[in-house]
Amino acid sequence: MADRKDRKYILASDSTCDLPADLVKKMGVRMIKLSFEIDGESHLDGDVPYDDFYNKMRAGSVTKTSQISPANCEAFFEKMIKEGRDILYLAFSSGLSGTFNSACMARDNLIEKYPDAKIVCVDSLCASTGEGLLLYKAWEKMNEGLGLDELAQWIEDNKLHLCHLFTVDDLKYLHRGGRISKATAVAGAVLGIKPILHVDNEGRLVAIGKVRGRKQSLNKLVELMGERLGDYENPVIGICQGDCLGDADYVADLCRKKLGKDITVITSYTGTVIGAHSGPGTLALFFMGEER
Reported as a single tens digit per residue, the pLDDT across 249-266 is: 999 999 999 999 999 999
- Contacts for 151-155: CB closer than 8 Å, 24+ residues apart: 151/11, 151/88, 152/88, 152/120, 152/122, 155/90, 155/122, 155/124
Amino acid at 204: R
Reported as a single tens digit per residue, the pLDDT across 184-194 is: 666 666 678 89
User: 166 and 98, same structural domain?
Assistant: no
Q: What is the CATH number of the domain that holds 77?
A: 3.40.50.10170
Confidence at 169, pLDDT banded by 50, 70, 90: confident
Total of domains in the chain: 2
User: 167 and 155, same structural domain?
Assistant: no
User: 107 and 69, same structural domain?
Assistant: yes
pLDDT of residue 99 exceeding 70, the answer is: yes
User: 182 and 129, same structural domain?
Assistant: no
pTM of the complete model beyond 0.85: yes
pLDDT of residue 61 exceeding 90, the answer is: yes
Confidence at 18, pLDDT banded by 50, 70, 90: very high
User: 143 and 250, same structural domain?
Assistant: no
User: 207 and 74, same structural domain?
Assistant: no
Torsion-angle region of residue 255: left (phi > 0), alpha (psi -120 to 50) or beta?
alpha
Longest dimension (CA), the chain: 64
User: 15 and 147, same structural domain?
Assistant: yes
User: 223 and 92, same structural domain?
Assistant: no
Q: What is the CATH number of the domain that holds 234?
A: 3.30.1180.10
Q: How far apart are CA 120 and CA 205, in angstroms?
A: 25
pLDDT of residue 166 exceeding 90, the answer is: yes
User: 117 and 179, same structural domain?
Assistant: no
Range of the domain at 228: 161-288
User: 193 and 115, same structural domain?
Assistant: no
**Last residue in a domain, options 97, 126, 159:** 159
pLDDT of residue 67: 87
**Last residue in a domain, options 159, 188, 213:** 159
pLDDT of residue 161 exceeding 50, the answer is: yes
User: 200 and 94, same structural domain?
Assistant: no
pLDDT of residue 155: 98
**Last residue in a domain, options 93, 125, 159:** 159
